[in-house]
Amino acid sequence: MSKRVILPGSTIGILGGGQLGRMTAIEAKKMGYRVLCLDPTPDSPCGQVSDGQIVGSFNDLAAAEKLAEQSDVLVYEFENISASVVGALEQQYYVPQGSEILSITQHRVLEKGHLAKHLFPIAPYAVVNSEARLICALEQIGYPAVLKSATGGYDGKGQQVLRSQDDIPAAMALCGRGGQFVLEKFVQLLGEVSVIVARNGHGTTSLFPVAENLHRDNILHTTVVPARINASLEEEAQSLAKRIADSLQLVGILAVEMFVTPQGLMVNELAPRPHNSGHFSFGACHTSQFEQFVRAVCGLPFGSTELLFPAVMVNVLGADMPSLMKIIPYLPTNVKLHLYGKSGQAQYGRKMGHLLIKTNEPDLAIEWAEETLWGLKV
């Protein structure tokens, strides 16, 4: 059952020690919980702000059980945690998110199948498991299309765009690695939006404002709230998110990413944990996605998701850090900086932090960030 009430003073065990766990831990500590985490990297971002960290692999059931033995409730902070490990844990420990939603959302074939079964709008797709099947799928789907690995892909990894026959060799090479893939039809994009939805064990849901997202090199670049869409689309996006959460029997928090097309909204991807596109809530909403996540898994009443002010979230990647460090003493008063405590070399595409900009003029805010961090003239 996922209807227990876990009161402050109890211990939340987090499977994962990245920035999502870090911000969840910060909110949980503010609410009076103790927090432990499991991560293979010592002094992980989450470990730095927790009461303790177990250093171990996400596939190490013994390490996960060690965390579970010290926790009153277990959660995962990203979907690349082993579903089999979570499945084993939930037989003995309290894991309200469960392994089923994890199994579905970490496998694109299962995720697409679930969405299609429940008649949610998605782009045309075909399942590919061989080079021969790729050719058949291309005849069915047509160009342009994108080939996506069924598992393990994020931020554009494990993907190949096919715009013509010239791209077939690269797609064949990707298929040659083995495993399943999804070939998805490219749709005409007017924009991209996402909705963060929280749901507890009683089936009560809480929705955050619709966010408008811009990606660069397959990595989220900026998020604008409120999204610049009409009221009808806004209502449709939130309705889709709620219905998807219900169809998955969600307990916890879910990000629903959607394409805005001339035909309406199409669901792109799901993530059953706090999401990069919801970071605006950590400051711009009365209750952040991280606090709402804690409330959902601990059986506490949801907080208000009211947007306190319009805002832009800008991701800070590894390549941005040298410029950022120079301007920190001169940041305007309407800009908040969140850094994730990641040590070591700042890799080019690694998410190191984000800026939250309070603004009524999102385009100007994005232009300022791009000129400041990248020297770009827009």
Beta bridge partners of 37: 14, 53
Q: Which residue has the higher pLDDT, 289 or 375?
A: 289
For residues 249 and 269, what is the distance between their CA atoms, to the nearest angstrom?
17
- Pick from 50, 75, 95: which residue ends a domain? 95
Residue 156's domain is classified under what CATH number? 3.30.1490.20
Boundaries of domain holding 146: 124-185
Q: List, as one string, the DSSP characters of 40-103.
A: SSTT-TTGGGSSEEEE--TT-HHHHHHHHHT-SEEEESSTTS-HHHHHHHTTTS--TT-SHHHH
Are 295 and 302 in contact by the 8 Å Cβ rule? The answer is: yes
Say if 298 falls within a structural domain. yes
Across the range 167-172, mean pLDDT stands at 90
Across the range 186-195, mean pLDDT stands at 95
Total Cβ atoms within 10 A of residue 142: 12
For residues 71 and 65, what is the distance between their CA atoms, to the nearest angstrom?
10
Say if 111 falls within a structural domain. no
Query: Is 135 in the same domain as 37?
Result: no
Q: Which residue has the tokens 């999401």?
A: 275
Say if 104 falls within a structural domain. no
Say if 115 falls within a structural domain. no
- pLDDT tens-place string over residues 221-280: 999 999 999 999 999 999 999 999 999 999 999 999 999 999 999 999 999 999 999 999
Across the range 183-194, mean pLDDT stands at 94
Q: Is 209 exposed, middle or buried (0-12, 13-18, 19+ CB in 10 A)?
A: buried
Cα dist. 270→72, 122, 184, 267 in Å?
Answer: 27, 12, 16, 8
Query: Is 296 in the same domain as 278?
Result: yes
Identify which of 87, 75, 1 has the alpha carbon closest to the alpha carbon of residue 38: 75
Across the range 75-100, mean pLDDT stands at 95
Query: Is 308 in the same domain as 236?
Result: yes
For residues 38 and 54, what is the distance between their CA atoms, to the nearest angstrom?
5
Say if 102 falls within a structural domain. no
Q: Is 257 exposed, middle or buried (0-12, 13-18, 19+ CB in 10 A)?
A: buried
- Residue 80's pLDDT band (cuts 50, 70, 90): confident
- In the chain, DSSP assigns E strands to 11-15, 34-39, 52-55, 73-76, 125-128, 145-149, 159-162, 181-185, 191-199, 205-207, 211-216, 219-225, 252-261, 264-271, 311-317, 335-339, 351-358
- Residue 179's pLDDT band (cuts 50, 70, 90): confident
Are 377 and 368 in contact by the 8 Å Cβ rule? The answer is: no
Query: Is 233 in the same domain as 332?
Result: yes
Q: Which residue has the tokens 């955050």?
A: 208
Residue 30's domain is classified under what CATH number? 3.40.50.20
- pLDDT tens-place string over residues 99-157: 999 999 999 999 999 999 999 999 999 999 888 899 999 999 999 999 999 987 655 56
Query: Is 54 in the same domain as 78?
Result: yes
Q: Which residues of 148-158 are buried (b: 16+ CB within 10 A; e: fewer)?
A: bbbeebbeeeb
Query: Is 274 in the same domain as 199?
Result: yes
Cis check for the bond before 144: say yes or no (omega within 30 of 0).
Answer: yes
Helix (H, G, I), strand (E, B) or coil at 239: helix
What is the reported pLDDT for 375? Answer: 66
Query: Is 214 in the same domain as 327?
Result: yes
Question: Average per-residue pLDDT in the chain?
Answer: 93
Query: Is 348 in the same domain as 230?
Result: yes
Say if 350 falls within a structural domain. yes
- Pick from 54, 79, 95: which residue ends a domain? 95
Beta bridge partners of 338: 354
- Main-chain dihedrals φ then ψ at residue 366, nearest 5 degrees: -65, -40
Query: Is 285 in the same domain as 363?
Result: yes
Query: Is 177 in the same domain as 205?
Result: no
Query: Is 226 in the same domain as 360?
Result: yes
For residues 56 and 37, what is the distance between their CA atoms, to the nearest angstrom?
10
Q: What is the pTM of this model?
A: 0.94
Residue 333's domain is classified under what CATH number? 3.30.470.20
Query: Is 19 in the same domain as 159?
Result: no
Q: Tally the domains of the chain.
A: 3
Say if 272 falls within a structural domain. yes
Say if 331 falls within a structural domain. yes
- Residue 372's pLDDT band (cuts 50, 70, 90): confident
The set of residues, in sequence order, having a beta carbon less than 8 Å from that of 323 and lying 6+ positions away, is 372, 373, 374, 375
Q: What is the DSSP letter of 3?
A: -
- Pick from 152, 168, 185: which residue ends a domain? 185
